Amino acid sequence: MGTVTEDKRVKRLIVAIDGPAGVGKSTAARLLASRLGYLYLDTGALYRATAWAVLESGLDPADTEAVADLLPTLSLQMLFHEGAAVVLVNGRDVSSELRIPRVSSAASVVSAIPEVRTWLLPIQRQIGQGGAVVAEGRDMGTKVFPSADVKFFLEADPTVRAQRRHRELVAAGHSGALEETSADLTSRDTRDRSRSIAPLVPAEDAQFIDTTNLSAADVVDQLMAVVTAKL
Ligand code: DC
């Protein structure tokens, strides 16, 4: 008797979304994951949690050796519940502290440390290994999931990206001038794109989407059209 236990039409794809800060990646990835019923893997949150731990330990994020020495003492977990993720560092939920500017800037610095990237690699792959995941970051398509089923690279005008990021920060209750956000974004961009290890570059087989004049819903519609063609 041929009992069908699994619907072979429902594919558990790995969707990789990369691009610079403020391009609308996170919103698009979260909405896409929710529409598909997939996990949303926010890898930036893992870099941010690592940076949080570095700052909490009183270390200089640029002190490569000290940061590398700290890693074996850390336990990093990303737990999923009904589509939302919480990040635990040594059992403590740090999710609400990950987007403050000090942590953002430290995340960009520690993400250039090879030991940090190597340490985070199996953590990311383990979350994505079963598929049915929308993985968002800087090196999803090139390094973490090079054989992802669909790869996107989002770009947008730098002024628009700074405005978006500034609005997010204000909505989250942080003060600070737009100019400050803009300068911060520019220096993070330069660092992310020019670092020697896993720099922010599009995968050869990535599809580009310019989000400058698109709403979040428009972006998701475009992503969805490409992904559903693969399902
Ligand atoms: O996406 P985000 O702004 O939350 O990322 C925070 C920092 O982590 C950012 O400066 C770049 C870095 N990052 C990275 O190097 N690789 C990733 N896959 C994700 C984030």
Minimum CA distance residue for ligand 1 atom 2: 44
- In ligand 1, the atom with minimum distance to the C-alpha of 136 is 18
Find out whether 116 and 67 touch, Cβ atoms under 8 Å: yes
Q: How remote is the CA of residue 107 from the centroid of ligand 1, in Å?
A: 7
Q: Which residues of the chain fall below pLDDT 50?
A: 1-6, 8
pLDDT of residue 207: 97
Cα 168 to Cα 115: distance, rounded to the nearest angstrom = 30
Distance 117 CA to ligand 1 centre (A): 11
DSSP-derived secondary structure for 39-103: EEEEHHHHHHHHHHHHHHTT--TT-HHHHHHHGGG--EEEEEETTEEEEEETTEE-GGGTTSHHH
137 close to 189: Cβ distance less than 8 angstroms: no
Q: Which class for 230: exposed (0-12), middle (13-18), buried (19 or more C-beta within 10 A)?
A: exposed
Q: Name all domains of the chain by residue range, CATH numbers in brackets.
A: 14-43+99-225 (3.40.50.300)
Query: What b/e readout covers 194-221, taking b as 16+ CB neighbours within 10 angstroms?
Result: ebeebebebbeebeebebeebeeeebbe
pLDDT tens, residue by residue, 138-173: 999 999 999 999 999 999 999 999 998 899 888 888
pTM: 0.91
Structure tokens at 106: 């430290």
User: For position 19, what pLDDT does the model report?
Assistant: 95
CA angle centred on 171, ends 181 and 78, rounded to 5°:
90
Q: Which protein residue's CA is at the shortest distance from atom 10 of ligand 1?
A: 108
* pLDDT of 2: 40
pLDDT value for 101: 86
| Ligand 1 interacting residues, C-beta cut-off 6 A | 21, 43-44, 47-48, 107-108, 111, 137-139, 188, 192
